[in-house]
C-alpha cells in the first residue's frame, strides 16, 4: 500500500526528518481557518506520482487563491482517482533539490540506498547521477555517509543528508516498507534540509503488525467505499484479468497458481487463441481467515462467467492438497448453479493430482469434458473458440 503524502510526512516527522508546517483540508471553506501563513502550496492527496504535471499541485498567495485552487484540485482526477483531502503546506525556497530513496534489491537480497544530486520532478532515473549503496550487513550510519559522498556532497551537507538517510532507514526497517522516497529533499547552503515531498510504500504482508499503518489502511478503505459503493473487498475479483477488449475467442481461463496461469495463457496463445480473460484462484492456503481452494474455485467460475463475452471456460487445475474428486464435485455443483443463472458456456476441465481417476469419473458422469493431458485440453479449448486465429494444435 502506498501512503498518501501527508501520511508519509507524519511518519517522517515522528523520526525527526524535517517537514514543513502543513494542514489537512477536507473542504475548501477550511482555508478561512488556515493555521499556516501564506504563501502556501495546495496539494492533491492521491497515491500517484506526477501530481504536479497533472495539475494537482497549485501555489496560493491568499485565501481567495487557495479556495479556487482547492475547488479545482478536488475536481481533478489523477489517473482516475479524486482526492479525499488536500494538503496545504508552507512554501519553501531551496538552494538545491536532491533525491533519496531506499528499496529492496531482490537479487542482492538486501536494502539499497539510492541518491541523486539532481532531485525534483525532472530526475532522470537512467542517468549516471543516481548512486546506489547496498546495505549488505547490519545498518550503520557509514552507509548513509557513503551515499552522501557518492552524491557529490561536501562539508556539512554530508552530515545533514546522511542524517536524513539514517532516519529513513530507521523507518524502512522498523515499519517493513517496500519503498521510502524523498523527492525532492531541499538543501540550503547553510545545511538545513527539508523533505518537500515523500512517498512511502508499506509491505502488504507486514501492515498488520504496525498499528499506525493498519490505521492508514483502514482510512483508505473507508475513503474508497465512500467514493465507490461497489468497491470490492474480494481479492479474487481484483485478480481477474481481462486480457484484451478486442479478444473475441470467447475463452475464459481459471487456474490455480500464478506460474500455471501464465503457462496456460501462453499455451492457448501458442494454440492460436487469445483468452478474453483469465483468473488465478490461488494456491492451497490454510491460514486463519483464508478461504479454501474449493470456495475460491466456486467464486472464480462465477466471476469468469459474469462476462457474457465468455462462451467457453477452460479450467486448468493441478491439485496438491485437495483431492481431484473434491475439486470435481465443486466444479459440477458450480456449473449446475451457474446453469440456473443461464450461464452455460462450454466447460473444458483439465484436472490432475490426488485421486485423478475419481475426479474424471465425477466430471464425466455430469457430462463435462475431462482431459488429463494439458496439450489435449488446450486443443479442445481452441476448438471451442469462436475465432481461432491459427490452430496449431488441432
Partner 1 sequence: MNVSARTRVLIQGITEPLAQIHAERMRAYGTQIVAAVSPGYGDRRGDGATIAETPVFDTVDLAVQTAGAIDFTAIFVPPYQVLDAAREAIAAGIRHIAIVTDGVPPMDTIALIRAADAAEALVLGPGSTGAIVPGACAIGTHPVDFYTPGTVGIIGRSSTLDYEVALTLSEAGIGQSICVGLGGDGILGSSFSQWLQILDEDDRTEAIVLVGRVGGTAEELAARYVEAAIDKPVVAYVAGRHAGDVTGHFGHAGEIVNARISGIYRRIDDAAIGTAQRKIEAFQAAGIRVASRPSELPQLLKQATSEVTSSASA
For partner 1, give the closer residue by CB, 63 or 361: 361
Closest by CA to 385, choosing from 286, 240, 243, 269, is 269
Q: Which is nearer to partner 1, 81 or 374 (CB)?
A: 374
Q: Which of residues 3-62 bind partner 1 (CB under 8 A)?
A: none
Is the Cβ–Cβ distance between 104 and 205 less than 8 Å? Answer: no
From the list 67-75, 153-161, 332-340, 346-354, the region that binds partner 1 by CB under 8 A is 346-354
205 near partner 1, rule: CB under 8 A: yes
Query: From the list 32, 106, 154, 229, which residue makes contact with partner 1 (rule: CB under 8 A)?
Result: 106
For 116, residues 6+ apart whose C-beta sits below 8 A from its C-beta are 98, 99, 123, 127, 129, 130, 131, 151
| Grid cell locating 337 | 448453479
Classify residue 181 as exposed, middle or buried by CB count within 10 Å of its CB (0-12, 13-18, 19+).
buried
H-only helix segments in the chain: 5-15, 51-54, 63-74, 141-150, 156-174, 211-227, 235-239, 258-270, 293-304, 324-340, 356-365, 374-384
- Lookup: cell for 303: 466471476
- 25 or 133: CB nearest partner 1: 133
Residue numbers 255-274 binding partner 1 by CB under 8 A: 255-263, 265-267, 269-270, 274
Among 65, 176, 212, 302, which residue interacts with partner 1 (rule: CB under 8 A)? 176
Judged by CB under 8 A, the stretch of 51-59, 63-71, 82-90, 250-258 that binds partner 1 is 250-258
Query: How near is the Cβ of 267 to partner 1 at its closest, in Å?
Result: 6
Binding flag, residue 130, partner 1 (CB under 8 A): yes
- Are 249 and 385 in contact by the 8 Å Cβ rule? The answer is yes
Q: Rounded distance, CA 188 to CA 90, Å?
A: 16
283 forms part of the interface with partner 1 (CB under 8 A): yes
Q: Please give the residue ranges that form the binding site for partner 1 (CB under 8 A).
A: 2, 101, 103-104, 106-107, 109-111, 114, 125-126, 130, 137-138, 172-173, 176, 178-179, 201, 203-206, 209, 235-236, 238-239, 241, 243, 255-263, 265-267, 269-270, 274, 280-288, 290, 317-321, 352-354, 374-375
Amino acid at each position: 500500500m502506498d501512503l498518501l503524502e501527508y501520511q508519509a510526512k507524519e511518519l517522517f516527522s515522528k523520526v525527526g526528518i524535517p517537514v514543513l508546517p502543513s494542514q489537512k483540508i477536507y473542504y475548501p471553506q477550511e482555508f478561512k481557518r488556515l493555521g499556516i501563513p501564506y504563501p502556501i502550496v495546495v496539494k492533491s492527496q492521491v497515491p500517484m506520482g506526477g501530481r504536479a504535471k497533472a495539475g494537482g499541485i497549485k501555489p496560493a498567495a491568499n485565501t481567495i487563491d487557495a479556495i479556487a485552487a482547492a475547488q479545482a484540485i478536488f475536481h481533478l482526477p489523477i489517473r482516475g482517482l479524486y482526492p479525499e483531502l488536500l494538503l496545504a503546506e508552507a512554501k519553501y525556497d531551496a538552494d538545491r533539490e536532491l533525491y533519496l530513496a531506499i528499496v529492496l534489491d531482490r537479487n542482492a537480497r538486501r536494502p539499497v540506498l539510492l541518491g541523486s544530486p539532481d532531485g525534483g520532478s525532472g530526475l532522470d532515473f537512467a542517468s549516471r547521477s543516481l548512486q546506489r549503496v547496498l546495505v549488505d550487513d547490519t545498518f550503520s550510519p557509514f552507509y548513509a555517509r557513503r551515499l552522501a559522498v557518492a552524491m557529490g556532497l561536501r562539508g556539512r551537507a554530508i552530515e545533514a543528508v546522511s542524517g536524513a538517510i539514517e532516519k529513513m532507514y530507521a523507518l524502512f526497517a522498523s515499519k517493513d516498507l517496500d519503498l521510502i522516497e524523498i523527492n525532492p529533499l531541499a538543501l540550503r547552503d547553510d545545511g538545513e534540509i527539508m523533505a518537500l515531498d515523500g512517498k512511502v510504500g508499506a509491505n502488504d504482508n507486514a501492515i498488520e503488525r504496525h498499528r499506525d499503518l493498519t490505521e492508514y489502511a483502514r482510512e483508505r478503505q473507508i475513503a474508497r467505499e465512500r467514493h465507490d459503493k461497489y468497491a470490492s473487498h474480494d481479492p479474487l475479483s481484483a485478480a481477474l484479468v481481462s486480457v484484451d477488449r478486442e479478444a473475441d475467442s470467447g475463452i475464459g481461463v481459471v487456474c490455480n497458481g500464478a506460474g500455471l496461469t501464465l503457462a496456460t495463457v501462453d499455451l492457448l496463445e501458442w494454440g492460436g487463441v487469445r483468452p478474453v480473460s483469465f483468473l488465478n484462484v490461488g494456491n492451497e492456503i490454510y491460514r486463519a481467515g483464508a478461504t479454501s481452494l474449493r470456495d475460491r474455485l466456486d467464486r472464480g467460475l462465477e466471476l469468469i462467467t459474469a462476462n457474457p463475452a465468455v462462451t467457453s471456460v477452460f479450467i486448468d487445475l493441478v491439485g496438491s492438497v485437495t483431492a481431484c474428486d473434491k475439486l470435481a464435485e465443486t466444479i459440477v455443483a458450480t456449473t449446475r448453479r451457474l446453469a440456473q443463472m443461464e450461464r452455460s458456456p462450454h466447460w473444458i476441465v483439465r484436472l490432475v493430482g490426488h485421486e485423478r481417476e475419481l475426479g474424471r469419473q465425477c466430471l464425466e458422469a455430469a457430462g463435462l469434458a475431462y482431459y488429463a493431458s494439458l496439450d489435449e485440453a488446450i486443443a479442445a479449448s481452441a476448438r471451442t473458440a469462436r475465432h481461432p486465429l491459427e490452430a496449431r494444435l488441432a
